[in-house]
Amino acid sequence: MTIPFQTYFAIGAIATMIILIQRRLHRSAASWMPRWFAEERAARRAQAAVSGAFLLLNLPWVILSAVAASNRLELWITISDARFSAVQWVMYPFAIWQTGGVTIWLFLSAADAGRWLSRRWKAWRGRESIIPEFDSRTHPGRREWIQAAGTSLAALPFAASGYGAVVATRSYTVERPEIVIPGWPKQLDGLRIAQLTDIHVGLFMTEERLREVVGVVNRLEADLVALTGDFVSSSRVYVAPCIRALSELRAGLGVYACVGNHDLFTGSVGALDEGFRAHGIRLLFNERESVLYRGHGLHLIGIDFVRQDGRVYSQVMRGIPITPGTVLLSHQPNVFPRAAEQQIDLQLSGHTHGGQVRFEIMGQEISPARLITPFVRGHYAKGGSHLYVSRGVGTTGPPLRLNAPPEITLLTVRGA
């Protein structure tokens, strides 16, 4: 398989960006040392220590490259299951550093832009500012104040990233939405579906952690379990630990699944299908399967991840009958308007991680997920059709969550 040119381009662009960000941060951190240490030799030593710390905090890129290579080269020597916890001791500080660093870099860039604009403005006006430049070295009192303020401001993004990585990613919430659907068959009234999505087994979602999640799901005693994709993070080597943990799921009507974009781009689908089959979990590939519940058919459709919501969706749904009592498992929530046109009762999706890192400013939601979908999290309705988007349990990119805790869902479906 040849690697497309765009992949090389994207890797090159990301690597350049990382180097530029780290270089800017290093320059800024080193420039603070003479303010902290009055003696020149001590300041120089501190600058050398800063350079060393930067080097160490960027070394884990080598581990991430090995994970990416393991997918392609079928190598799995760097990180095995047994070494997961050891690796995490390295990866968590790395992730916290990188995420906090990017945030600080954004602030520094804004300050740089402000300074540049101010200089241009002064040059255009043809005179110096009437406000004298402030030199912290000549004002010791203010110097201490600026040091304290600067340190607190710099610590804030790292504290937030640390909380998001260590605490928030493990604070599982069990959501229990009740979905009332007009025309839902009365025999199926009260059906309880447990949904688990975006598990992303990898460096930060270990087999052990997934087993804990599976334990929570089993204790909910749902009639059926729906797994809506993204089983692995960045490599198919994670399929085996994922299957081992998920094989312990128990539900009267069975466990049904569909694939997500990460399962597709890591080439994990074949191994997932094989592993799931061995443990009685049904992975649905653009097909429908029916089960009997209190004498009525419950119809489960599972579709692959589709990038576009229109034409491709119509293609994958071609020939699949849609009757009352239908639940669509689609990793991609964006197909919902089309599913609603087809009068599908209920669609279960993931993909967004509930935004993963989410802010709300004046009632406006700001999160990466808003860029890709209007269906970020929770319950949506259109006509008689309903969509539920779970925040999922895992993470992608930085292993942290802010304002979007991991979710295990227990839906109760009722007739109107």
Contact residues toward Fe ion (CB under 5 A) are 198, 230
d(CA 135, CA 382) in angstroms, rounded, equals 61
d(CA 192, CA 195) in angstroms, rounded, equals 10
Q: Which is nearer to Fe ion, 223 or 230 (CB)?
A: 230
Between vectors from CA 353 to CA 362 and to CA 317, what angle results, nearest 5°? 115
Q: Which is nearer to Fe ion, 229 or 415 (CB)?
A: 229
Closest distance between Fe ion and the C-beta of residue 5, in Å?
26
Between vectors from CA 276 to CA 273 and to CA 278, what angle results, nearest 5°? 110
d(CA 295, CA 300) in angstroms, rounded, equals 16
Closest distance between Fe ion and the C-beta of residue 232, in Å?
10
- List the one residue out of 236, 176, 183, 249 whose CA is nearest residue 210: 249
CB 90 within 8 A of CB 60: yes
Provide long-range contacts, Cβ within 8 A and 24+ apart, for 267-272.
Answer: 267/71, 267/236, 268/231, 268/232, 268/236, 268/238, 268/239, 271/236, 271/239, 271/240, 272/231, 272/239, 272/242, 272/243
Three-state secondary-structure class, residue 198: coil
Closest distance between Fe ion and the C-beta of residue 355, in Å?
12
d(CA 161, CA 23) in angstroms, rounded, equals 20
- Phi, psi torsion values for 88, nearest 5 degrees: -65, -30
Q: How many helices (H) and strands (E) does the chain have?
A: 11, 15
Closest distance between Fe ion and the C-beta of residue 353, in Å?
6
Q: Which is nearer to Fe ion, 198 or 309 (CB)?
A: 198
Closest distance between Fe ion and the C-beta of residue 200, in Å?
6
d(CA 168, CA 174) in angstroms, rounded, equals 14
Query: How far is CA 72 from each of CA 1, 64, 65, 378, rounded to the nearest angstrom?
Result: 9, 13, 11, 36
Closest distance between Fe ion and the C-beta of residue 395, in Å?
8
Closest distance between Fe ion and the C-beta of residue 187, in Å?
34
Q: Which is nearer to Fe ion, 198 or 345 (CB)?
A: 198
Closest distance between Fe ion and the C-beta of residue 193, in Å?
19
Q: Which residues contact 366 (CB under 8 A, 6 or more apart)?
A: 358, 359, 360
Q: Which is nearer to Fe ion, 230 or 407 (CB)?
A: 230
- Phi, psi torsion values for 398, nearest 5 degrees: -65, 140
Q: Which is nearer to Fe ion, 345 or 407 (CB)?
A: 407
Q: Which is nearer to Fe ion, 198 or 304 (CB)?
A: 198
Q: Which is nearer to Fe ion, 198 or 273 (CB)?
A: 198
d(CA 298, CA 255) in angstroms, rounded, equals 13
Closest distance between Fe ion and the C-beta of residue 156, in Å?
28
DSSP-derived pairing of the beta strands 346-349 and 385-389: parallel
Q: Which residues contact 120 (CB under 8 A, 6 or more apart)?
A: none
Closest distance between Fe ion and the C-beta of residue 179, in Å?
22
Q: Which is nearer to Fe ion, 230 or 345 (CB)?
A: 230
Q: Which is nearer to Fe ion, 326 or 396 (CB)?
A: 396
